[in-house]
Amino acid sequence: MSEQEIKVPDLGGADEVEIIEITVSEGDTVEEEDSILTVESDKASVDLPSPASGKITKISVKVGDTLKEGDVVGMIETDDADDEDNADDEDEKPARDEDEDQEEDKDEDQDKEEKPKKSAEKSGGGSRKETVKVPSMDGAEDVPVIEINVQAGDEVAEEDPLVTVESDKATFEIPSPYAGKVEKVLVKEGDKLSEGDDLLEMTIVGGGDDEAGEETKEEPKKETESKSEPKKEAPKKKSGGGTRKETVKVPNMDGAEDVPVLEINVKDGDEVAEEDPLVTVESDKATFEIPSPFAGKVTKVLVKEGDKLSEGDDLLELTITEDGGEEEAETDTETETEETTEESSKDKDGERESKPKSEEKGKSEESEPVPRTGGGKVHAGPAVRKLAREYGVDMGRIKGSGPKDRILKDDIQAYVKGELQKTQEGGVSAASGAGIPGVKLPDFSQFGEVERESMSRIQVATANNMQRNWLNVPHVTQHDDADITDMDAFRKDLKAEGEKRGVKMTPLAFVLKACAHALAELPQFNVSLDMERKELVRKKYIHIGIAVDTPNGLMVPVIRDVDKKGLWELAAEAAELAGKARDKKLKPNEMQGGCFSITSLGGIGGTAFTPIVSTPEVAILGLSKASMKPVWDGKAFQPRLMMPLSLSYDHRAVNGADAARFTTLLSDLLGDVRRLLL
C-alpha cells in the first residue's frame, strides 16, 4: 500500500475555482475517475476526479475554499499492484514513444510530398471556410444558449469556448474544433440547440483543402457517434412497452413537516384514478387527504399508519399505463442517457441518497446562508449562482423567468429589491416580531419540583397564530350589552320543535344570523387589507367562523353563506362542525374562507374579554355569560337577561364610530329578533 497526493488538475484556463461540494469523506473507497469534489468557476461547475482507485485517507479542504491548478486537496491510499502496473506502463512508454516518433516522421515526410500537390489543387490560397456544428451532448436536445463567448472577427484557438449552454443536468461550454477566425455567429442567446445544428462560420488558415478538412471532421465525429450509439438504440429495445413506474412523493403541505399518517386509503394492487385519495394525514390545523397525481395501479405502499411525512418523502409506487409506446421510448432514452452521463458520479449520488435527512439538512445550513424552502431542482448558470451567494439569496424561493424556469440575474436582483422593500415597509419585521427581545426563562426547578411536557401540534399552531395576529393588527375592543330576554324566551318555545327535528336551537344560531345582517349593513367589517398593494379587498359573501374549544386546542370551523340560511339550518351546521372539531375530523376547506369570527365563553362565565382578531379578517365578536340585571325602562327597574358583547377590530380598517354602530345594531337585532326579517 502507498499514499499519493490528490492534486487539482488543469482547470481549462480558470485561475481560481471555488469548492461548492465535497462528495467523499475520509475512509471512503473510490474508483479511478470517481468524483472527489465539485468546483465552480464563473463559467461552469465541474467535478474533480480521483487520480487512482483506493481509500481516501485525508481531505485537506472544505466547502468555500478556492483552488488553483496543482493545489493538494487530500491523500489517497492505493494498492502496490496499481503502482507496479504504472511502473510497467512507464517502462513500456519509451519504446512506444520511439515507435510513434518513427511513424510520425514517416507521416511528416508523406505530408511534405503531398503538400505541393494539394496546394496546386486548392483555389483558396491556404485557407478554407468551415461551418462549426454542435457536437454530441450526451443525448441532450433543445439545449438553450445562455451565453455567446465570441463575435464575428474574433480569432480563436482550438478548444476555445464558443458558446455556453445549459441542459437539465449541467452548464457547459461548446469548444472550437479548429483554430481560426470567426466569420459569422449563426445563433443568439436563448436559441435551443441539438446535435448537428449550425453554430458559426469560421475561416481556417493553413488547413489544407476541403477534402482534408472533411476527413479531419469525420474522425472526431465517428468517435462521438460510437460513444453515443448505445443510447440511440435504447428506445428501439423498449418500443413495445406501454407502462412505466412512478414513485409518488408527498406534495407541498403549506410548509407542514412531520405530519402523521392517520389512514391509508389504498393497498397493493388497487387501481386508482387521478386525484383519488391515497392517504389521510393530520397537520397542526387540519386532517386532509393526499391525492394521486396519476391514474394507475398501486405496486407498493411505502408508508404505514403513524409514519410522519414531509414534502418530498416517498409515498407509494404506481404502475402507469401509457396510450402508446412512443412516450415510454422517450422516457427510456432519457433514463439510458442519465445512466451513461452520470456513471462517473454514481458513488456521489449513492452516498447522498444514503445519508439521513438530518445530515443533509445540516450540510445545507452550513453551506447556504438562508435555509432552503424546497427540494426541487434550481436551474441557473454558474454566474447567477455566484450572484445569489453574494447576496445571500436562497434560489429555492425564486421563480425563474428564463427558459424551463431558469433563474436569471434579473430574477435575483428583483427578489432582493422586493425583500428590501418589504423590510423598509415593516412587513417582515412586524410579521416575525423582529426587534422584540425574547423572554429568557429562569431555572424553575430552583423554586420547586417541575415537569415538562411537549405542546400538541394544535397548541403550537395556535400560539404562533396568536403571536402573529397580535403583532400585525392594531387592536381595539368595544364592549356592549344585548338584552336577549325575548330572544331566549322564543328559543325555549322552539324546544319541542327542535326535538322533532333532532336539532337543538342555541343562542349561537341567533347571533350568527344577527352578525350576517350587521355585516351586510356595515360592509366595512367584511373586508381584508392588502398592504402590499395598498388595497381593501371587499367580499361579496358572508362566511363566519365559530371558535370551538376541543381537548386538543382551539379550532375555528367556518359556516358558509350564513346570510342565506335559516335558524334551524345554522343551528344544525354549527353543532355538526363543532362535533367534527372535537373528533379531529375537520377538513382544510372547512376552516378556510372566513370573513368574521365569533368566540363564546357564555357556557363558562365571565363578564367581558378582548378576543384577538384572526388575520386576514378585520373583526371578531366575543360573547360572555348572560345574566339577569336590573334595567331601567323609564318608570322602574325590570329584570332583563343581558349578554355582554366584546367586539375586537383592526383599527386600520375599522374606526371607532363604525364599531359602535355595529354593536348597537347587534343589540337591537338580538333584543327583537323580528328585525331579522326586515
How many angstroms separate the Cα of 356 from the Cα of each of 295, 346, 352, 580? 31, 18, 9, 37
The answer to whether 594 touches 613, Cβ cutoff 8 Å, is no
| Strand-pair partners of 308 | 260
Q: How far apart are CA 665 and CA 517, in angstroms?
A: 9
The answer to whether 284 touches 256, Cβ cutoff 8 Å, is yes
C-alpha cell at 309: 411525512
Q: How far apart are CA 607 and CA 622, in angstroms?
A: 10
The answer to whether 552 touches 456, Cβ cutoff 8 Å, is yes
For 14-59, give the DSSP string: -S-EEEEEE---TT-EE-TT-EEEEEE-SS-EEEEEPSSSEEEEEE
Active site residue 651: yes
Core vs surface per residue 16-43: b (16+ CB within 10 A) or e: ebbbbbbbbeeebebeeebbbbbbbbeb
For 591-640, give the DSSP string: G---SEEEEE-TTT--S---PPP-TT--EEEEE---EEEEEE-SSSEEEE
Residue at grid coordinates 360592509 = 523
Count helices and strands in the chain by DSSP H and E runs: 14, 35
Annotated catalytic residue within 379, 517, 543, 651: 651
| Strand-pair partners of 559 | 544
Whether residue 616 has a cis bond before it, omega within 30° of 0: yes
Q: How far apart are CA 613 and CA 436, in angstroms?
A: 21
C-alpha cell at 144: 438553450
Closest CA relative to residue 482, chosen from 642, 320, 673, 614: 642
**What does the angle CA 661 – CA 667 – CA 669 come to, to the nearest 5 degrees?**
100
| Strand-pair partners of 127 | 205
Closest CA relative to residue 171, chosen from 344, 40, 335: 40
- In the 8-state DSSP scheme, what is residue 380? B
282, HSE (Cβ side, Cα atoms, 13 Å): 16
For 476-497, give the DSSP string: EEEEEEEE-HHHHHHHHHTHHH
The answer to whether 158 touches 176, Cβ cutoff 8 Å, is yes
Phi and psi, residue 6, nearest 5°: -100, 115
- With H, G, I as helix, E, B as strand and everything else as coil, classify residue 650: strand
Q: How far apart are CA 607 and CA 239, in angstroms?
A: 77
State the CB neighbour count (10 A cutoff) for residue 568.
15
The 3-state secondary structure of 188-237, one letter per residue? CCCCEECCCCEEEEEEEECCCCHHHHHHHHHHHHHHHHHHHHHHHHHHHH
Q: How far apart are CA 377 and CA 398, in angstroms?
A: 12
Closest CA relative to residue 275, chosen from 251, 255, 309: 251
Which residues are designated catalytic? 651
